[in-house]
Amino acid sequence: MFIAQNLYDVGEELADDEAAWHEATIYADDIFKDVDGRFRPGQEWSLEVTNRDRRPIYFISIGSRKMP
């Protein structure tokens, strides 16, 4: 499993859910720019975005597999 983990006890306060989505996609893009071949078939990566009450509002996942 490819792990790029960033767990924050205190998150960044954003204007609304749309701003949170925007920042999440920028973060995901930055992570995968630096993967440089390390993400392999059969691996998964995910990012969960929560609100201030730690309730999930978005979930981004990327998976890969080698086809037979």
Digit-by-digit pLDDT tens for the chain (68 residues) are 344 445 555 577 888 999 999 999 998 898 888 877 888 999 998 888 888 888 899 999 999 999 99
* CA gap 32, 37 in Å, rounded: 10
The pTM of this model reads 0.75
DSSP 34: T
Looking at residue 10, its pLDDT comes to 59
* CA gap 55, 26 in Å, rounded: 21
* CA gap 20, 18 in Å, rounded: 5
Q: Would you kindly state where each structural domain of the chain is located, as residue ranges?
A: 1-68
Which value, in Å, is the radius of gyration of the alpha carbons in the chain?
Answer: 14
Q: Are 63 and 43 in contact (CB under 8 A)?
A: yes
